[in-house]
Amino acid sequence: MVTIILVVHIVIAIALVVLVLIQQGKGADIGAAFGSGASQTVFGSRGSASFLTRTTAGLAAGFFITSLSLAYISGNRTDAKSVTDITAPAKVSDLPTLPSGMAPPASAPAQPAAPSDVPVVPGK
């Protein structure tokens, strides 16, 4: 379901960008007043502006709806894991023993040489 909405969202976004780039600005109307052929367009002298405006408004509404749908779906997922749900790594005593002939890794000193500002966590 999320994949379908996401594909529709991307298609609407691309179509919206194309429609906005196709439209002429309000300053282009002055050229049409001097007979630049605006009356010979497919939609008539003013029909293309209203058609493109309505289509852009419809696509903008669709983009808004799909954005809200994707936000709602992603916010209500139960399978999402939080950082606090991750379990702690295993203790050294819980790890299996090394096979014979292998050397254990070098261990770190138990206490730091110089005092630090970081508090010591009990039990570690």
CA 89 to chain centre: 31
User: Any idea what DSSP says for residue 52?
Assistant: H
10 neighbors 43 (Cβ within 8 angstroms): no
Dihedral through CA 115, CA 119, CA 123, CA 124, nearest 10? -60
Distance CA 53, CA 57 (A): 6
Distance CA 115, CA 75 (A): 45
Predicted model pTM: 0.49
9 neighbors 70 (Cβ within 8 angstroms): yes
pLDDT tens-place string over residues 69-79: 999 998 887 76
Along the 124 residues of the chain, how does pLDDT read in single tens digits? 889 999 999 999 999 999 999 887 766 555 555 555 555 555 555 555 688 889 999 999 999 999 999 999 988 877 656 667 767 666 666 666 666 666 666 665 555 556 667 777 787 5
